Structure 1
């Protein structure tokens, strides 16, 4: 999709074009209302500013669409396809890594009552596992902040890639 197409689309079409970035309809709606954008940088800046307002409720809602790290996202939606691609490094045949991630996911969910969220793109499975273990030492408040930061990073990466695909 091009930025020009996004700027000219109806509100519903524009929301559908960015819905895969994060499972937060209010964010997508606010970004659509802020159109038109003169450049990709302007769009990313607006997306980032809107994401700064996310709170624990937004995090919970967004996490409902994220699979556990190391598990394949089900379905054929664009978000599921993106998630599978982003987690490609941890979807290996290394059974030891898969078992360690599974155990780490369970410990994390028991401690924080949410799915472990991390930007997987560009990280090896071992790096992700190390981060998971480090974050298990966080306080609940620290972890909410780290998870929100990761959610923002993933969202903006997906937004940028959406418009870079055709530019």
Structure 2
């Protein structure tokens, strides 16, 4: 059992990325084992390949994940998030393109009406034709019933950007997504570890 086997997989964040296109170390298990009091300690002490694999679930950039993993240990979550910020700002255009290739739009609520799906599909196609990559956006602080309208408004607004301006906007959205995923992962693992309703280990 590896250190990070005691943490959960990153499948329920505000925006889930597509399946990793780069394999770095073992794949995180589909199950989770609770009762881990300090998830950050587990991340700090995990083998480098495991830490990089975890980080690739937050942002599909091997250079980004290598850099953050190499600078462990982090004394607290804020320090880890600051390091993630700094590494994201340093992404080269090639790194950014690689990270964008691993992203997808957030899942829409099941009751989203079909017309909204059609409108979103058309707007997304126009965006991808103009900029050559998928549209990404952080929606972690948007109420679920407002997500579709928020995404549509953002796509239509950003279609007016020139490619260089949009690259900056996309990089900022990647930065927010990566931080949100890291924070949700560690905080979620901690909450499960202390929950009286958590399942017994091994389930």
Shorter-normalised TM range: 0.7 to 0.9
1:52, CA displacement in angstroms?
0.9
- Cα gap change, 1:149 to 1:107, in 2 (>3 Å): same
1:92, CA displacement in angstroms?
4.1
Instruction: Indicate which of 42, 59, 63 corresponds to 2:100.
Output: 63
Q: Distance in 2 between matches of 1:132 and 1:58?
A: 23
Per the alignment, residue 49 of structure 2 pairs with: 12
1:59-95 per-residue CA deviation (whole Å, 9 max, x = no partner) reads 210121112x3xxxxxxxxxxxxxxxxx244554311
Q: Distance in 1 between matches of 2:110 and 2:165?
A: 28
Larger RCO, structures 1/2 (Cα 8 Å, 6+ apart): 2
Query: Which consecutive unaligned segments of at least 5 residues does structure 2 have?
Result: 1-6, 8-38, 191-203
1:97, CA displacement in angstroms?
0.7
Q: Is the 8 A contact 2:140 2:180 kept in 1?
A: no
Per the alignment, residue 42 of structure 1 pairs with: 79
Cα RMSD after superposing both structures: 1.5
Per the alignment, residue 149 of structure 2 pairs with: 126
- Please state which structure has a larger fraction of its residues in helix: 1
- Cα gap change, 1:110 to 1:90, in 2 (>3 Å): farther
Q: Distance in 2 between matches of 1:164 and 1:149?
A: 22
